[in-house]
């Protein structure tokens, strides 16, 4: 069976969670199946090989695959965390949500100037979080050259925003 078919059978769509109108993609059953997990990592690694010097994972589901991708690529992994979790020194970036704003933070000194960076998360929705993560990388003299996601929600138009940054966007499953 193809990877995409396996994922379609495994990922569960939860309507109206955490609020009405959201089709929440529950990826937790993936972690019951180590062979499927390995296949997902292999697909991400195959695409990213030779293209990046560091991987940034977005809290918290961006860590689930991000660390394994970084280890397989033999490059550093850097955590992007929600506001208030990291000890200093760090920098933060605010971004818009559907209602209100949010903020993510990253330790300074972990990314090196000139590095090509992969921004990774489980799911691409509006792209707000991923673009804010790329800004944190760029403020440190590095460049987000690749974005990768297990799932891309195409209707929300994030691909256009990422294309504008000149970076590559790789997603395994599109809805
Ligand atoms: P965005 O900044 O709009 O691209 O949102 C991406 C972040 O929100 C990711 O960290 C996702 O884990 C989470 N997210 C957004 N929409 C969904 C959804 N429908 N199902 C699961 N997670 C979601």
Active site residue 61: yes
- Confidence at residue 130, expressed as pLDDT on a 0 to 100 scale: 98
- Confidence at residue 165, expressed as pLDDT on a 0 to 100 scale: 95
* Whole-angstrom Cα Rg for the chain: 16
Annotated catalytic residue within 38, 46, 98, 154: 98
For residue 114, the 8-state DSSP code is T
Average pLDDT over residues 149-164: 96
- Confidence at residue 98, expressed as pLDDT on a 0 to 100 scale: 74
Q: Does residue 105 have its Cβ closer than 6 Å to ligand 1?
A: no
Give the number of other Cβ atoms within 10 Å of residue 135's Cβ: 16
Cα 152 to Cα 11, 136, 137, 146, distances in angstroms = 13, 22, 22, 14
Average pLDDT over residues 53-74: 98
| Residues counted in the chain | 175
User: Residue 99 pLDDT more than 80?
Assistant: no
Binned at pLDDT 50, 70 and 90, residue 90 comes out as very high
pLDDT digits (tens, 9 = 90+) for 100-146: 899 999 999 999 999 999 999 999 999 999 999 999 999 999 999 99
Ligand 1 center to 125 CA (angstroms): 5
Q: With helix as H, strand as E and coil as C, how does 38-55 read?
A: HHHHHHHHHHHCCCCCEE
Binned at pLDDT 50, 70 and 90, residue 153 comes out as very high
Q: Does residue 57 have its Cβ closer than 6 Å to ligand 1?
A: no
Binned at pLDDT 50, 70 and 90, residue 70 comes out as very high
Ligand 1 center to 124 CA (angstroms): 6
**Which domains are present in the chain?**
50-174 (3.40.50.2020)
User: Residue 157 pLDDT more than 90?
Assistant: yes
Burial category of 144 from C-beta neighbours within 10 Å (exposed 0-12, middle 13-18, buried 19 and up): buried
Report the alpha-carbon distance of residue 164 to residue 26 in Å, rounded: 29
For residue 171, the 8-state DSSP code is E
**pTM, 2 dp:** 0.97
- On average, the pLDDT of the chain sits at 97
- Confidence at residue 69, expressed as pLDDT on a 0 to 100 scale: 99
């Amino acid at each position: 069976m193809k990877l995409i078919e396996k994922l379609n059978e495994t990922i569960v769509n939860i309507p109206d969670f955490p609020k009405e109108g959201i089709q929440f993609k529950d990826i937790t059953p993936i972690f019951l199946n180590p062979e499927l997990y390995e296949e997902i990592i292999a697909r991400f690694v195959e695409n990213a090989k030779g293209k990046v010097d560091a991987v940034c994972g977005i809290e918290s589901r961006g860590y689930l695959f991000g660390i394994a991708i970084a280890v397989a690529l033999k490059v550093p992994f850097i955590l992007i965390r929600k506001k208030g979790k990291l000890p200093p020194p760090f920098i933060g970036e605010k971004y818009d949500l559907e209602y209100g704003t949010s903020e993510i933070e990253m330790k300074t000194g972990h990314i090196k100037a000139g590095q090509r960076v992969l921004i990774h998360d489980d799911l691409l929705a509006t792209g707000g979080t991923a673009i804010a993560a790329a800004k944190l990388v760029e403020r440190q003299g590095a460049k987000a050259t690749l974005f990768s996601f297990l799932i891309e929600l195409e209707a929300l138009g994030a691909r256009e925003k990422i294309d504008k940054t000149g970076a590559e966007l790789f997603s395994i499953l599109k809805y």
